Amino acid sequence: MAFQSQRFASLDELWNKLEQKTDRMIDQMGGKSPHVAKADGVYDDNPTDAWTSGFWPGILWLMYEMTGKERYKEAAWDWDRKLEENFVRPSNFHHDVGFQFLPTAIVKYRLTGDADAKRIGLEAANFLAGRFNLAGRFIRAWNNVKGAWHEGNDGWAIIDCMMNLPLLMWASGELGDPRFKHIAVAHADTALANFVRDDGSTRHICCFDPETGEFLHALGGQGFAPDSAWSRGNAWALYGFSAMYRLSGQQRYLDAAKRVAHFFIASVEDDFVPLWDFRVDNRSGAPRDSSAAAIAASGLIDISKYVPAGQSGLYLQAAERMIASLTDRYATWDTPEHEAILLHGTGHLPRGANIDVSLIYGDYYYVEAVSKLKGWNCHMF
Ligand code: GLY
């Protein structure tokens, strides 16, 4: 079965629409660093140290690579430098420099050979490596922000960090220096041992003693409860372990990605998009998270290429169904003035933040997944 949308007769037709949409977004976005668009359809503008600052430029670089059109390159060009300014002023950069610099500096260097982009990417990789806790063999997630819900988090690691590890793997490859890879593999093994449950569901936050490295307890974080299954966290794990398999060749990471994928595929709603958490106590009226479906779909396409041919269809068909559902039921094609591509994402429900909104990372991974269906065979993560 190939990709089948009720809205578009072919993948090429969908792609043309996405190009038109991105052209319009360039005009609408100006210099904004978007994260969330609410009911008014207008993306907000965030400081460039926010974890989401790489995704809009990532869409632009992807469009450039897919089409060769200079307009996308021009719009994307300055973003790695804008983000880099946060290294030389007080900022809240943390482990998510992978999310920020892989779709800006690293892709720019890969596509253009720009030496400054390479320098910036290595700067980010050094910063990420510096967050490694040797006793616990994990990369520390966030910073201590006084009064924030996550204050006192010196020993915290989160599942999202799997997506930042490709920055370290890139640095090792680029420099011929295995230190960065050693940190990435150590963190991935800690995540495999502590975050991925036997049934393929995942925890969001694990708290370790920052001095001894001992595992203390899990927290629900952006999920419903410590023992629940935050769907975007599951998607980060599915994609992140698959990326670590690609970059390290270690079978245990592909096995983990498959286990998480099986749980994800089995747990989505009838329209192949998940609720914001797979294990909420009251499902009725619980919001979905379209971004989790987009991330998972992109990761599933990767897994479908790494498994033997006889297994491939399970992952590819699940991805195609998710992308078709997002395309037919969740996109803004009929309201072109809306600045986002996808509707119905959920940011941080336990804090009451960004529920049933558009999220720039949902848009990014949707574009990425459609590009992969179109034959894009490269990787930002
Ligand atoms: N990395 C934060 C999130 O997924 O919301």
Q: What is the pLDDT of residues 359-370, one digit of tens each?
A: 999 999 999 999
Beta bridge partners of residue 158, listed in sequence order? 205
pLDDT confidence of residue 147 = 79
Active site residues: 96, 160
CA of 170 to the centre of ligand 1 (A): 22
145: pLDDT strictly greater than 90 = no
160 lines ligand 1 (CB under 6 A): yes
Name the helix (H) or strand (E) containing 293.
helix 290-306
Please state the length of the chain. 381
Q: Tell me which of 161, 222, 354 to substitute to probe ligand 1's pocket, judged by most ligand atoms within 8 Å of the beta carbon.
A: 222
Average pLDDT over residues 150-161: 93
pLDDT confidence of residue 1 = 63
Give the three-class secondary structure for 354. Answer: strand
CA of 232 to the centre of ligand 1 (A): 7
What ligand 1 atom has the least distance to the C-alpha of 160?
Answer: 1
* Closest protein CA for atom 1 of ligand 1: 160
232 lines ligand 1 (CB under 6 A): yes
Where along the chain do its domains lie? 11-373
CA of 284 to the centre of ligand 1 (A): 24
The one-character DSSP state at 160 is G
User: Beta-carbon neighbour count of residue 15 at 10 Å?
Assistant: 18
Side by side, the strands of the sheet bearing 36-37 are 36-37, 353-359, 345-348
Average pLDDT over residues 113-125: 98
d(CA 360, CA 336): 16
CA of 160 to the centre of ligand 1 (A): 6
Average pLDDT over residues 211-224: 98
Its CATH class, for the domain covering 11-373, is mainly alpha
Torsion of CA 288, 296, 28, 376, to 10 degrees: -160
From 353, 246, 344, select the one nearest 303 (Cα to Cα): 246
What ligand 1 atom has the least distance to the C-alpha of 361?
Answer: 4
